[in-house]
Structure 1
Amino acid sequence: MRYAQLRAFHHVAVAGGFSRAAEALHLTQPAVSDQVRQLEESYDILLFDRSRKQVRLTEAGEDLLRITLRMFEAENEAAEFLTEARSLRTGHLRIMADAPHHLLHILAAFRDRYPGIRISLSTGNSDQVVAALRAYEADVGVMGGMPEVSGLTGAVLDASPIVAFVARSSPLAARSDLALRDLSSLPLVLREEGSKTRAKLLAAAEAEGFSLSPAIEAEGREAVREIVAAGGGVGFVSMAEFGADARLRPIPLRPEAGLMMEEAVVCLDQRRDVRLIRAFMELAGVG
């Protein structure tokens, strides 16, 4: 087994194709294909399913990718240590958050301290954040509470109650509050499965002996907001995330519902000592 063969396999797996891997490695596509083929032949193993137009990892390929992700992460750490990136003068931090506003004070402090670091921010629900971290597509995640899964470390940033919200023109806008059971007779606009807000709401109803189901299911917080603003029903969000929107009115859920939404900042356990990630987590209060 040669380093070049493993590197070729890793880049094809991560990039999702031989052409893109060749571009990343500054090699020709035949050269990359040949290195992967030699690796497969040397160990009599099939790493990619080439029967379709799109290159797909076999089960063995997925197992090997989990190993090479750690291998090349360690290589990157070594490179950072041996270059100016070790002092965090350069680099790229990828963050995925379910609600970016929870990060604003941390981002400002991080930019002040490390102005040379490029930051990219994407959004997704809690399940998507966990998946992105595990796939090494994000370095840091912000999500609704600490996940009940192994392999992640982090800390809670803040907590606020979940509230309902409706269009200002809705008859419900005059309500001072809503009981959890009131929701069973209302048209609910809920986010996609994987949303912590949705999961908490449905679990609370189930604990009270009844069920809730969406009249409309929408992907993403902004989609829910627009549907509700147009009179499509009742949406839900943590009060900290409600923001300012003259079209909408928040309605508290009665205290007995006990619906609180925590926001946590997390990273993979095995990557917590990567310098860039550690610097961000320390600013977020994660030791």
Structure 2
Amino acid sequence: MTSPLPMRYVQLRAFHYVAICGGFSRAAEALFLTQPAISDQVRKLEEEYDILLFNRRNKQVTLTQQGEELLTITRRLFDVEQQALELLTESRALRLGELRIVADAAHHLVPVLGRFRARYPGVHITLRAGNTQSVLDSLRAYEADLGVLGEMPEGRDFVTLKLNSTPIIAFAQRDHPAAARGRMSLADLARFPLVLREQGSKTRHRLEELAEAEGVPLAAAIEAEGREAVREIVASGAGVGFVSTAEFGADSRFSAIEIDAPPMLMDEALICLRERAGSKLVQAFFDIARSADPQG
């Protein structure tokens, strides 16, 4: 014998949506069903229990007293169902999910990644490098769930969390002639061969803004894609590079050179598309990032 529960559930759901949507047509749209199907399910519920749930007058649908009482119950019923679905979905995502991150500098995430992996060891994480433009493009194309970039993006498309804010400095191989001077103007730095990031890099954009403001010609002797490429070229003694102090690190091959100008701050931010902010994995990563101290 087939249990009547599945059919009763369908009928209760039809009643609930008619009640909360204010009509049969709107309920049908919400449930992706036809209006006759919704009407038939409500009618069968009323006939089976010999009860009138809706007053139908002049194409207006209102709840009867018994309908009001049943709606109080179905609100609890479907709210509990939604909570159960969210719990099941969250559990699966946080146990076996995949999180895709694209970052202009991965080291900003090291403290967060360690804590996240300790708490959610089953989540598979992919991390790839990019510049500001490629981070934004990857998020908008749904090729990444999270991004890290050297600015707080404008507009309302993204949810952001500031990780840190540090100034841009120059750096050179420790035996390079520029390394002996701990502080130089951009004009003086520009007399040396410069190793600059590719177009689309926020670091390069900030340098070009300063150069324009100070009337300094800024030309790349070598243009390299990616921060690590710049570091290795500078390590060879081929020129002077630029990086934020947070990214400079403790590499004994290099000497830091302060730029004699108003600080050019790089605001490293964790970001995601606003419409993806409800993802359980994204929420979990943001929560851990808020509780971590990336600079500590």
TM-score tier by shorter-chain length is 0.5 to 0.7
2:204 alignment partner in structure 1: 198
| Alignment partners' CA distance in 2, 1:193 and 1:203 | 13
The superposition leaves residues 201-243 of structure 1 with CA deviations (integer Å, 9 ceiling, x where unpaired) of 1111112233312111011111111111112111000111112
| Alignment partners' CA distance in 2, 1:133 and 1:234 | 32
The 5-angstrom pairing of residues 263-282 of structure 1 reads 263-282=268-287
Does 2:132 align with 1:126? yes
| Alignment partners' CA distance in 2, 1:248 and 1:148 | 34
TM-superposed deviation, 1:132: 0.7
Letter in 1 for 2:264: L
Does 2:253 align with 1:242? no
The superposition leaves residues 217-276 of structure 1 with CA deviations (integer Å, 9 ceiling, x where unpaired) of 01111111111111211100011111232222111112x331121100000011000111
| Alignment partners' CA distance in 1, 2:89 and 2:170 | 51
Does 2:242 align with 1:261? no
Answer whether contact 2:197 2:225 (CA < 8 A) is retained: yes
For 2:175, which of 143, 164, 169 is the aligned residue?
169
Letter in 2 for 1:90: L
| Alignment partners' CA distance in 1, 2:206 and 2:93 | 42
Answer whether contact 1:205 1:212 (CA < 8 A) is retained: yes
| Alignment partners' CA distance in 2, 1:87 and 1:139 | 13
Does 2:169 align with 1:157? no
Letter in 2 for 1:179: S
Q: Which deviates more from structure 2 when the two are superposed, residues 144-153 or residues 224-233?
A: 144-153
TM-superposed deviation, 1:116: 1.6
2:185 alignment partner in structure 1: 179
Answer whether contact 1:84 1:90 (CA < 8 A) is retained: no
Query: 4+ residue stretches of structure 1 with deviation over 3 A?
Result: 78-87
2:184 is paired with a residue of what secondary structure? coil
Answer whether contact 1:183 1:212 (CA < 8 A) is retained: no
Answer whether contact 1:93 1:119 (CA < 8 A) is retained: yes
2:147 is paired with a residue of what secondary structure? strand
Answer whether contact 2:90 2:280 (CA < 8 A) is retained: no
RMSD: 2.1
TM-superposed deviation, 1:186: 2.2
Question: Closer, same or farther in 2 for the Cα pair 1:284/1:84, shift >3 Å?
Answer: closer
| Alignment partners' CA distance in 2, 1:84 and 1:270 | 17
TM-superposed deviation, 1:285: 2.1
1:280 is paired with a residue of what secondary structure? helix
TM-superposed deviation, 1:137: 0.9
Listed as ranges, the gaps of 5+ residues in structure 2 are: 1-83, 292-296
Answer whether contact 1:189 1:228 (CA < 8 A) is retained: yes
Q: Tell me which structure has the larger Cα radius of gyration.
A: 2
Instruction: Give the TM-score, by structure 1 length.
Output: 0.68
Answer whether contact 2:186 2:216 (CA < 8 A) is retained: no
Answer whether contact 1:86 1:275 (CA < 8 A) is retained: no
| Alignment partners' CA distance in 1, 2:278 and 2:206 | 32
The 5-angstrom pairing of residues 36-185 of structure 1 reads 82-83=88-89, 85-86=91-92, 88-185=94-191
Question: Closer, same or farther in 2 for the Cα pair 1:267/1:196, shift >3 Å?
Answer: same
Letter in 2 for 1:186: F
| Alignment partners' CA distance in 2, 1:164 and 1:248 | 10
Q: Percent identical across equivalent pairs?
A: 55
| Alignment partners' CA distance in 2, 1:230 and 1:181 | 23
| Alignment partners' CA distance in 2, 1:250 and 1:222 | 16
2:183 is paired with a residue of what secondary structure? coil
